[in-house]
Chains A and B, each alone.
Chain A
């Protein structure tokens, strides 16, 4: 069972250079899939296609049984409530407090709930990511980088999305923080076994630690996909280099 099926996806912005050049990738449901690759290989562009933020030049994307190429803009916007996304810098709304940030999607989409129930959910999600009550009324600018990420994650899971996306969750963090965030991803996934998690990463260690399924992009194509063993056993030059040294940060 696949949550996301990408078929022969191609994308060019200028009509000449294809950033994505025939990507075919299945992302299994209920698992953690890690997408790795050098900087600039189009990982973020790929994820934006899945979210329908960018339209493909050719090829198709099927999410939870819906061909999103057939949705118009307004349907697409509604369809996105299936997704939760943690952005690289959390992308918190900077004039909202921590709790308001988490409350925002709940207020928008759960009009059926009472005020207390909404607050209840927000607090639950915040405790789930380990943010304590003393931080609820702080603005994003008053939080540390790690706390911002936690808050962003709480907001992403506020509506229990079917698919959770992380765009480079640990880039730019120190090793301790990296491990904390990785654990957060694992815990969050274990909390809701039904949900599908997709992580974009530079970091091969994280990929091996988190990923049930790993796909590596290069030159606009999927170079290799499989589990950690596939990557260790691969005799592709580039993959061996990665396994030996880890992916270099650029």
Chain B
């Protein structure tokens, strides 16, 4: 009995701590983004971080997307073949990629790559007092360092998701038409029938949210690094892990919410 109450107690504090963290991190993100739209504007910083988050992720996104498209098609083909509905491989893969796998995988990859780098960079700047140096110089470090990074993540994620979806469908088309000998015209035609822009929008919206999530978490962790080089490692690790977990968990709720929204507005 004591064991059970202890456990509940511990669970409660854990949940409370997490709630407090969520609160602090929301305020942090909100404040940084708000500052971005105030003078002095940091456009040059935004461009620099966009280049880093978006441009430098394209290769790895394309690579992952192509293989995801291929392997997903192949698996679905194996399943559908048993009930003679190979024709539907294209749209099934399309729906899965556009609505779920596109944004989620893009989110995971970019948060590991760019988010980790952000946390490490800011962590280093924190422990070497560079962030304090900005503050002492009369420059708001959140405005200079954080705002542009979060905005860059917000802009880059939907764009990268677009790339991911496109390349994944290329992969799907490639394997279906050239290796599994499905009919090219049927593949395209079914896609046209089953998929509409709304499915893509759903994914783009999710990608936008994920961008905000990992951008804020990783910058928050880096910005609040404590205790030397070890702290930087911990901040990076916790930033990436938290981002990934939150992306996957929030994906479920986002999906539910979007369904509800669609039913509610009758779209």
Residues on A facing B (Cβ under 8 Å):
51, 53, 74, 77-81, 83-85, 87-89, 91-94, 104-105, 108-109
B71 to chain A, nearest CB (A): 39
Known: A89-B128, A91-B128, A94-B128. A77 touches B140 (CB 8 A): yes
Of the residues A79, A81, A91, A109, contact of B133 by C-beta under 8 Å: A91
Chain A residues within 8 Å of B139, by CB: 77, 108
Inter-chain CA distance A78–B132, complex, in Å, is: 14
Assess whether A80 is in contact with B128, with CB atoms less than 8 Å apart: no
Closest to B143 in A: A77
Assess whether B138 is in contact with A87, with CB atoms less than 8 Å apart: no
Inter-chain CA distance A94–B137, complex, in Å, is: 16
A108 to chain B, nearest CB (A): 6
Inter-chain CA distance A108–B44, complex, in Å, is: 13
Q: Is the interface of A mostly helix, strand, loop or mixed?
A: mixed
Assess whether B133 is in contact with A93, with CB atoms less than 8 Å apart: yes
Assess whether B132 is in contact with A87, with CB atoms less than 8 Å apart: yes
Instruction: Please give 9 more A-B residue pairs, beta carbons under 8 A apart, in addition to A80-B137, A87-B129.
Output: A77-B139, A79-B138, A81-B138, A84-B136, A85-B136, A91-B129, A91-B133, A94-B128, A108-B137
Assess whether A80 is in contact with B136, with CB atoms less than 8 Å apart: yes
Of the residues A53, A77, A89, A92, contact of B138 by C-beta under 8 Å: A77
Chain A residues within 8 Å of B135, by CB: 51, 53, 77, 80
Inter-chain CA distance A66–B138, complex, in Å, is: 16
Chain B residues within 8 Å of A74, by CB: 140
Could you give, for residues 121-151 of chain B, a 1 whenever the CB lies within 8 Å of some chain A CB and a 0 otherwise? 0001000111011011111100000000000
Chain B residues within 8 Å of A83, by CB: 136
Could you give, for residues 36-69 of chain B, a 1 whenever the CB lies within 8 Å of some chain A CB and a 0 otherwise? 0000100000000000000000000000000000
Q: What are 23 A-B interface contacts by the 8 Å CB criterion?
A: A51-B136, A53-B136, A74-B140, A77-B140, A79-B138, A80-B135, A80-B136, A85-B136, A87-B129, A88-B129, A89-B128, A89-B129, A91-B129, A91-B130, A91-B132, A93-B133, A94-B124, A94-B128, A94-B130, A104-B137, A105-B138, A108-B137, A109-B138
3 nearest A-B residue pairs (beta carbon): A91-B129, A81-B138, A91-B133
B146 to chain A, nearest CB (A): 14
Inter-chain CA distance A87–B135, complex, in Å, is: 12
Chain A residues within 8 Å of B137, by CB: 80-81, 104-105, 108
A167 to chain B, nearest CB (A): 9
Could you give, for residues 100-140 of chain B, a 1 whenever the CB lies within 8 Å of some chain A CB and a 0 otherwise? 00000000000000000000000010001110110111111
Chain B residues within 8 Å of A77, by CB: 135, 138-140
Chain B residues within 8 Å of A104, by CB: 137
B40 to chain A, nearest CB (A): 8
Assess whether A87 is in contact with B140, with CB atoms less than 8 Å apart: no
Inter-chain CA distance A211–B65, complex, in Å, is: 65
Chain B residues within 8 Å of A53, by CB: 132, 135-136
Assess whether B138 is in contact with A93, with CB atoms less than 8 Å apart: no
